[in-house]
C-alpha cells in the first residue's frame, strides 16, 4: 500500500516541477527575445513594439516553436519538451498537457499588460483636449469603420464572388483599430498628448465600441439567428452611458480619490488604489457587454485629474514594461507566416484575397485621417496611420470566424495576412512620418528613467538629506 502511494507522490511532484519549469521558462524566453529585438529596433530608430512583435514571430509558430498557442501545443519544440521531461522526470505527453493547461494563465497576464497599458494611456490623456476633439474623433472613427467595411464587402462580392455572410465577416475584420498598439507607439514617439494623438485615441476607443456592435451582428448572422435591433440598440445605449459616466467621474471622482489616498499610510497605496479603480471599471465595462479594455482606458481617464496622477504613472510604468511585453509577444507568436509562401499552390487564392484586403484596410483608415474638419493645421497622415493597426482585435475576429467554421482556408489566410500587414506596417510608417513632423522623441524605456535633474531634486528632497542640511545650517 505504501509503494503505490509513494509512486503517486513522486509523480505529482514531477508534474509540479514540470509546470514550474514551463511557466518560468516561458517568461525567460519572452523577455530575452523581446529585449534583444527591442534593443535592435532602438538602434535602428524604430518603435520597440515592433521588436516585441518580431520576437513573438521568431519564437512562435512561424519560428522556433518555443512558445506557441495552446491549440498548437503539438507543434511545441521537441527539444524543449524533452528537456523539461528529463529535468522533471515525467513523460513528454505530460509536459504537453501541462503546457496546454497552464497557457490560459499566461494569456491572463498578457491581458493585464493590455489593461495596464490602456490605464496608463488614459492617465496621460488630456481630458479637455480629448473632449475638444470629440467631434473630430467621431468623424475619424465612423469613416474608419464604414469605408473599409463597405469597400471590402463590395469588392469581395463583386470581384471575388464571395458569399454574403463571408464577405460581411471579412469586411468587419477590417473595421476595428488596435488601441493597444497605437497607444504604445504614440507614447514611445512622444505624440500621445498632441492633438492628433488625442484624436486617434478617441477614435480608437469609439472603434472598439463599434467593433463590438459589428461583431455581435456578424456572430448572429453566422449562427443563423434572426437579426434583432433590440440587443444592438441596448449595446449602443450601454456604451454611450458608460462613456458619459466615465467623463463625468473624470471631473468629480479625482478629489475623492485624493482624499482617500491622503488617509492611507501603508506602502504601495497608489498602485493598489489605482488598480482597484482599474478593476472596477474593467468589471463594469464587461458586465454591460463592452470590452474590459475600454474600462481600463476609462479608469485612467477618471484618475487623470488627480493630484497623484504623475506618481500613479510612475508606479504603473514598470508593470506596463513587463506585462505589455508579454501581450505584444503573444500577438507575434500567433502569426503563421507560412501562408506567405507563393510557391505553395494552396496559398495563392489567399494571397490574392490578402492583397485586396490589405489595400482596402490601409486605404480606408488613411482616408479617415482626411474625414474631419480642423481650423488648426493638422497632420492627417499621422491620424490615418495611427488608425491602421488591427493587431489583437483582428486576431479576435479571425479566431471567432475559425471557431464558427465560417471561413474558407483562403479567406482565413487572407484575413491573417491583412492583420499581419497592418500590424507591422503601422509602427514602421509612423516612425518614418514622425521625424518630419515632431522630431525624435525619447523612447518609452528612456521615459522610465529619471533625468539627472530629477535625480538631483529627489536627492535634495529626501528626508535624510533634508535633516543633514538643517543640522549643517545650525552649525
Give the model's confidence band at 388: pLDDT under 50 very low, under 70 low, under 90 confident, else very high.
very high
- Give the separation between CA 348 and CA 157, rounded to whole angstroms: 19
Which of 234-248, 396-410, 432-446 comes out lowest in average pLDDT?
Answer: 432-446
Residues 49-85 have pLDDT tens digits of 888 989 999 999 989 999 999 988 999 999 999 999 9
Residue 332 has pLDDT above 70, yes or no: yes
Give the model's confidence band at 435: pLDDT under 50 very low, under 70 low, under 90 confident, else very high.
low
pTM of the model: 0.75
Residue 186 has pLDDT above 50, yes or no: yes
Q: What is the pLDDT of residue 348?
A: 84
Q: What is the pLDDT of residue 452?
A: 37
- Give the separation between CA 124 and CA 309, rounded to whole angstroms: 8
Taking residues 250-264, report their average pLDDT: 90
Q: What's the whole-number average pLDDT of the chain? A: 82
Q: What is the pLDDT of residue 121?
A: 84
Residue 416 has pLDDT above 80, yes or no: yes
Which of 4-8, 45-49, 191-195, 248-252 comes out lowest in average pLDDT?
Answer: 4-8
Residue 458 has pLDDT above 70, yes or no: no
Which of 59-68, 170-179, 266-275 comes out lowest in average pLDDT?
Answer: 170-179
Sole residue written with cell 524604430: 46
Give the model's confidence band at 440: pLDDT under 50 very low, under 70 low, under 90 confident, else very high.
very low
Taking residues 214-232, report their average pLDDT: 67
Q: What is the pLDDT of residue 64?
A: 94
- Give the separation between CA 91 and CA 368, rounded to whole angstroms: 54
Q: What is the pLDDT of residue 443?
A: 40
More confidently predicted of 333 and 434: 333
Residue 201 has pLDDT above 90, yes or no: no
Q: Which three cell numbers stand for residue 379?
A: 497632420
Give the model's confidence band at 9: pLDDT under 50 very low, under 70 low, under 90 confident, else very high.
low
Sole residue written with cell 490578402: 354
Q: What is the pLDDT of residue 460?
A: 37
Taking residues 145-154, report their average pLDDT: 94
Amino acid at each position: 500500500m505504501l509503494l503505490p502511494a509513494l509512486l503517486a507522490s513522486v509523480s505529482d511532484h514531477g508534474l509540479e516541477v514540470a509546470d514550474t519549469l514551463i511557466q518560468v521558462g516561458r517568461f525567460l524566453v519572452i523577455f530575452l527575445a523581446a529585449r534583444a529585438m527591442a534593443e535592435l529596433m532602438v538602434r535602428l530608430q524604430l518603435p520597440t513594439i515592433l521588436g516585441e512583435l518580431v520576437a513573438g514571430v521568431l519564437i512562435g509558430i512561424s519560428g522556433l516553436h518555443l512558445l506557441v498557442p495552446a491549440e498548437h501545443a503539438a507543434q511545441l519544440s521537441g527539444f524543449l519538451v524533452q528537456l523539461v521531461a528529463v529535468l522533471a522526470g515525467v513523460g513528454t505527453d505530460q509536459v504537453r498537457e501541462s503546457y496546454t493547461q497552464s497557457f490560459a494563465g499566461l494569456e491572463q497576464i498578457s491581458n493585464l499588460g493590455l489593461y495596464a497599458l490602456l490605464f496608463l494611456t488614459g492617465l496621460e490623456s488630456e481630458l479637455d483636449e480629448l473632449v475638444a476633439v470629440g467631434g473630430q474623433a467621431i468623424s475619424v472613427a465612423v469613416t474608419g469603420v464604414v469605408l473599409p467595411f463597405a469597400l471590402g464587402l463590395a469588392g469581395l462580392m463583386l470581384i471575388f464572388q464571395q458569399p454574403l455572410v463571408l464577405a460581411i465577416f471579412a469586411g468587419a475584420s477590417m473595421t476595428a483599430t488596435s488601441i493597444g498598439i497605437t497607444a504604445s507607439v504614440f507614447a514611445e514617439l512622444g505624440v500621445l498628448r498632441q492633438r492628433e494623438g488625442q484624436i486617434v485615441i478617441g477614435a480608437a476607443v469609439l472603434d472598439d465600441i463599434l467593433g463590438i456592435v459589428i461583431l455581435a451582428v456578424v456572430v448572429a448572422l453566422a449562427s443563423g439567428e434572426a437579426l434583432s435591433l433590440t440587443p444592438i440598440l441596448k449595446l449602443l445605449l450601454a456604451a454611450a452611458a458608460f462613456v458619459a459616466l466615465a467623463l463625468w467621474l473624470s471631473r468629480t471622482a479625482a478629489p475623492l480619490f485624493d482624499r482617500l489616498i491622503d488617509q492611507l499610510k501603508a506602502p504601495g497605496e497608489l498602485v493598489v488604489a489605482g488598480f482597484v479603480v482599474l478593476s472596477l471599471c474593467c468589471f463594469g465595462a464587461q458586465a454591460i457587454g463592452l470590452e474590459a479594455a475600454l474600462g481600463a482606458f476609462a479608469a485612467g481617464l477618471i484618475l487623470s485629474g488627480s493630484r497623484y496622477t504623475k506618481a500613479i504613472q510612475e508606479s504603473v510604468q514598470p508593470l506596463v514594461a513587463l506585462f505589455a511585453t508579454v501581450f505584444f509577444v503573444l500577438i507575434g507568436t500567433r502569426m503563421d507566416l507560412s501562408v506567405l509562401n507563393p510557391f505553395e499552390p494552396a496559398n495563392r487564392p489567399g494571397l490574392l484575397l490578402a492583397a485586396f484586403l490589405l489595400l482596402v484596410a490601409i486605404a480606408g483608415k488613411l482616408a479617415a485621417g482626411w474625414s474631419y474638419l480642423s481650423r488648426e493645421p493638422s497632420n492627417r497622415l499621422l491620424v490615418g496611420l495611427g488608425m491602421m493597426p488591427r493587431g489583437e482585435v483582428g486576431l479576435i475576429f479571425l479566431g471567432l470566424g475559425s471557431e464558427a467554421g465560417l471561413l474558407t482556408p483562403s479567406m482565413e489566410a487572407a484575413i491573417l495576412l491583412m492583420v499581419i500587414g497592418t500590424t507591422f506596417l503601422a509602427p514602421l510608417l509612423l516612425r518614418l512620418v514622425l521625424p518630419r513632423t515632431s522630431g525624435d522623441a525619447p523612447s518609452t524605456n528612456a521615459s522610465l528613467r529619471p533625468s539627472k535633474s530629477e535625480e538631483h531634486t529627489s536627492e535634495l528632497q529626501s528626508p535624510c538629506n533634508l535633516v543633514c542640511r538643517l543640522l549643517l545650517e545650525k552649525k
